[in-house]
Amino acid sequence: MADIRLLNVTKRFGSVVAIDDITLEVHSGELVALLGPSGCGKTTTMRSIAGLERPERGDIFIGNRAIQGVAIHKREVGMVFQDYALFPHLTIQENIGFGLKMRKVPARSAQSKVEEVLKLTRLAELPGIGQRYPHQLSGGQRQRVALARALVTEPKVLLLDEPFGALDKKLRERLQVELRLLQQQLSITTVFVTHDQEEALTLADRIAVMQGGRIEQIGTPSDIYEAPRSHFVADFIGVSNFFEAQVERAGNGGLHVNTTRGMSMWIAPPSDRSIRVGDTLQLALRPEKVMLAPPEHQERRHAHTATIQHIVYLGTATHYYLSTEAGEDIIAYVQNQDMTHGRHLFRVGDAVSLFWKPENVLVLEETCAA
């Protein structure tokens, strides 16, 4: 069952189309990340669900209820903003209980609910936290307060607008895991807006990648990463090597293609479409799928000769930047269990052989027929 449904929703700001005919379902208990660059429409989509923006066209449902024209405080939505939006003149207890006060919840019941979410968000572990003020807390603590305030009214839906954007990397990663565990514990339907691909991969059950006010692709993190449909998705989620190539021939269950720079390779034909000899294909290859070997392996079938231009050591992996004989620039990621005594297997300037499996070359949807 879907707790959130958007049907053909469009929102404009003057002549600018912020969200363009979006249809989206978020299932009960699911966390969906809206991912994309600035200006792609992800925050406007969330604000439309919350009632902070009114679309010109389309329908939005929370549960089975259409919410067009429904006041924000009656939508059963809790929202956490990037800047937390805490009241500086109110104590933490008063900030968290503000929504309950507006709903005229009796004081004793409200106090009990505030204490409950303080424990839930682990704020209760800080002595006297309820009587402190926002300026007396760290960024991570203020983020927890904002989350507690959103949860205290027991909303049907939780909306999170880049809530970790102001935090440092280590704290952000820790709170991402804590949020995910809490969301799963409460089984609360959640929409999370982010421009950070790693954050989306860490948190989401499904990711909706957005561009130009539209959803380019939606799927599980593994679907989006392993099977991107477009150049934009393959480039925005992770890193890819891109090639334009023409199909030269078919045989042995594969396709033989030549890139525009003259590099030949075999690829596996996609199962969801028909490709013919002469078609021009847009291809992507993830760096971790590229294997390096010493140059004496050049005779091996499907090998490509390349020269190492640059090496980046990142602790768990080493990134190799290479140029092939045909002039293609390729990135390869090698896990450092393939390192010997802390020294690189290869050095800048070395000639190497490159290999990859035909099935690891992704055929993107931007394909031109001959």
Same domain? For 312 and 324 the reply is yes
Task: Report the number of distinct structural domains present in the chain.
Answer: 2
Same domain? For 227 and 340 the reply is no
* Residue 370 belongs to a domain: no
Specify the CATH number for the domain of residue 176: 3.40.50.300
Q: What integer is the mean pLDDT of 4-22?
A: 95
Same domain? For 257 and 229 the reply is no
Same domain? For 320 and 215 the reply is no
Instruction: Report the pLDDT value the prediction gives residue 245, as an integer from 0 to 100.
Output: 95
The tokens for 295 are 């140059």
Same domain? For 299 and 190 the reply is no
Same domain? For 114 and 221 the reply is yes
Q: Is the pTM of this model over 0.75?
A: yes
End residue of a domain, out of 235, 268, 294 = 235
Same domain? For 131 and 214 the reply is yes
Q: State pLDDT tens for residues 328-369.
A: 999 999 988 765 545 557 899 999 999 899 999 999 986 554
Specify the CATH number for the domain of residue 249: 2.40.50.100
Q: State pLDDT tens for residues 207-218.
A: 999 999 999 999
* Residue 368 belongs to a domain: no
Range of the domain at 269: 239-363
* Residue 17 belongs to a domain: yes
Please say if the pLDDT value at position 254 is more than 50: yes
Same domain? For 104 and 36 the reply is yes
End residue of a domain, out of 204, 235, 266 = 235
Q: State pLDDT tens for residues 86-103.
A: 999 999 999 999 999 988
Same domain? For 221 and 253 the reply is no
SS (H, E, C) the chain: CEEEEEEEEEEEECCEEEEEEEEEEEECCCEEEEECCCCCCHHHHHHHHHCCCCCCEEEEEECCEECCCCCHHHCCEEEECCCCCCCCCCCHHHHHHHHHHHCCCCHHHHHHHHHHHHHHCCHHHCCCHHHCCHHHCCHHHHHHHHHHHHHCCCCCEEEEECCCCCCCHHHHHHHHHHHHHHHHHHCCEEEEEECCHHHHHHHCCEEEEEECCEEEEEECHHHHHHCCCCHHHHHHCCCCEEEEEEEEEEECCEEEEEECCCCEEEECCCCCCCCCCCCEEEEEECHHHCEEECHHHHHCCCCEEEEEEEEEECCCEEEEEEEECCCCEEEEEEEHHHCECCECCCCCCCEEEEECCHHHCEECCCCECC
End residue of a domain, out of 189, 219, 235 = 235
Same domain? For 323 and 230 the reply is no
Q: What integer is the mean pLDDT of 285-290?
A: 96
